């Protein structure tokens, strides 16, 4: 069956301008042209329905483009999106209200690269994890840390985390995603990511806590600070880092 653009839009439940926008973004193949009229077919309607379903899964246009061009990547991409944006999404203003922090603080964290919102339909969207990070940052500031110094430390941490994550992704590619690729089910690759990510998070979080506590205790090892050291030892022996995975 063939459709004019108005008929195609109606069948897909979209506005004509939306269909034309998807075509301009190379998400929709070019239609056939006969004379001055362009015609679309069932493959175009299927693609529009596919795009609509992927948008409901909160994929960005760039991610949708990757999926429609390489369908075998969808299980892993979907797993990545679920982990990065699972749960409720917040605008910047809504995130500021939910975290009880000034919107200016959120903008400062964005500018420093500490918060990286997803851009959906041109609007920055933040996740529940971003809200939790903002709340934690506010509690640290309330303890008396100067914001500019805290941001400097956080940016240093960010740079090292990015480098470590890039190497971890290389390991995943080499040992899971690409290893025996001809025999691997794409769905199994996505599931492997879901299984490994919580374990990696626990590993990194516990290592950070142990290193921080050990180094802090080393600073308290001078004789004049023995009482503080004893209190620190008691606190670390009773404390336990809880890493909760949703």
What's the pTM value of the predicted model, to 2 decimals?
A: 0.57
Residue 48: pLDDT band (50, 70, 90) is: very high
Domains identified in the chain, total number: 2
Residue 64 lies in a domain: yes
pLDDT digits (tens, 9 = 90+) for 125-148: 888 888 998 999 889 989 999 988
Beta bridge pairs of residue 33:
38
Q: Note the pLDDT of residue 79.
A: 67
- The answer on pLDDT for 241 being more than 80 is no
Name which of 34-43, 109-118, 177-186, 213-222 the model is least confident about. Answer: 177-186
Contacts of residue 24, defined as CB under 8 A and 6 or more positions apart, other chains included, come to none
88 near 98, Cβ under 8 Å?
no
- The answer on pLDDT for 164 being more than 50 is yes
- Segments forming the whole domain that contains residue 47: 5-70
Q: Note the pLDDT of residue 42.
A: 93
Q: Average pLDDT for residues 86-97, to the nearest whole number? A: 85
Residue 117: pLDDT band (50, 70, 90) is: confident
Residue 116 lies in a domain: no
Query: CA 195, 198, 200 angle in degrees (round to 5)?
Result: 100
Tokens of 185: 């089910």
Residue 166 lies in a domain: no
Residue 90 lies in a domain: no
Which of 20, 48, 70 is the last residue before a domain boundary?
A: 70
pLDDT digits (tens, 9 = 90+) for 65-77: 877 777 766 666 6
Residue 231 lies in a domain: yes
CATH (domain of 33): 1.10.1660.10
Which of 70, 87, 104 is the last residue before a domain boundary?
A: 70
pLDDT digits (tens, 9 = 90+) for 190-205: 788 878 888 888 888 8
pLDDT digits (tens, 9 = 90+) for 171-188: 887 787 766 544 567 677
Which of 53, 70, 87 is the last residue before a domain boundary?
A: 70
Residue 124 lies in a domain: no
Residue 56 lies in a domain: yes
Q: Average pLDDT for residues 221-239, to the nearest whole number? A: 64
Residue 191 lies in a domain: yes
- The answer on pLDDT for 239 being more than 80 is no
What mean pLDDT, rounded, does the chain reach?
80
Percentages of the chain per state (helix, strand, coil), in multiples of 5: 70, 5, 25
């Amino acid at each position: 069956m063939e459709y004019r653009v108005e008929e195609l839009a109606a069948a897909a439940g979209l506005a004509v301008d939306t269909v034309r926008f998807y075509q301009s973004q190379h998400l929709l193949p070019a239609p056939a042209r006969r004379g001055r009229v362009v015609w679309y077919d069932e493959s175009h309607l299927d693609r529009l329905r596919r795009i609509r379903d992927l948008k409901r899964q909160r994929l960005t246009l760039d991610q949708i483009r990757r999926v429609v061009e390489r369908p075998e990547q969808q299980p892993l991409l979907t797993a990545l999106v679920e982990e990065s944006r699972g749960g409720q999404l917040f605008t910047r203003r809504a995130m500021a209200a939910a975290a009880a922090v000034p919107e200016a603080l959120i903008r400062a964290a964005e500018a420093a690269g500490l918060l990286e919102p997803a851009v959906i339909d041109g609007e920055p969207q933040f996740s529940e994890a971003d809200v939790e990070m903002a709340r934690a940052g506010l509690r640290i500031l309330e303890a008396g840390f100067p914001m500019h110094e805290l941001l400097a430390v956080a940016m240093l941490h960010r740079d090292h985390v990015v480098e470590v994550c890039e190497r971890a992704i290389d390991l995943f590619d080499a040992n899971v995603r690409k290893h025996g690729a001809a025999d691997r089910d794409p769905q199994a690759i996505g599931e492997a990511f879901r299984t490994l990510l919580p374990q990696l998070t626990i590993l990194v979080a516990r290592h950070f806590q142990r290193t921080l506590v050990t180094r802090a205790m080393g600073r308290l090892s001078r004789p004049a600070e023995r009482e503080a050291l004893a209190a620190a030892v008691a606190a670390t022996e009773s404390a336990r880092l809880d890493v909760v995975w949703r």
